[in-house]
Amino acid sequence: MRAEARRLTLAARDGRTGSPVIDLGRARDARRLRDAQARSAQVLDANKRALARLFQSGAIYSRAGTRLARELLAAHQSLVRAAELLARLGQRPAAESRVADEVYEEIQALLARASALGARSEGIVARR
């Protein structure tokens, strides 16, 4: 009995209060943000590589290559804007879920479009 009382006083004296509480909503939002930022960075890098391949192969000087390069540049601008949106979303302490969902949907659409353009550039470069 005396040892139990002594243990309790040691725990109280050390300031131990129990297990920490983890907010799963915040953890889920943080993971969603990290995943979106990583995906955005990957697509942005792929977009840059596609533009570089168009220039290096000389396909940029064809009609189809010029059109694709223009679309890739527009997609690049959109991806930069998406990265800025993600940065702003990360700075908000508690983002409204409706606003965050709209931003994520817009970013997913931009990423899908940029990925499709990158795949299309592969076909044009391969034909050369």
Residue 21 phi/psi, 5-degree rounding, is -95, 130
The sign of the CA dihedral 80, 81, 82, 85 is: positive
pLDDT in tens, 46-62: 888 888 988 888 888 88
> What CA–CA distance (Å, rounded) separates 19 from 13?
17
pLDDT in tens, 79-118: 888 888 888 887 776 556 777 888 888 888 888 888 888 7
Is residue 14 over pLDDT 70? Answer: no
Structure-model confidence comparison of residues 123 and 88, the more confident one = 88
> What CA–CA distance (Å, rounded) separates 76 from 81?
9
pTM of the complete model beyond 0.85: no
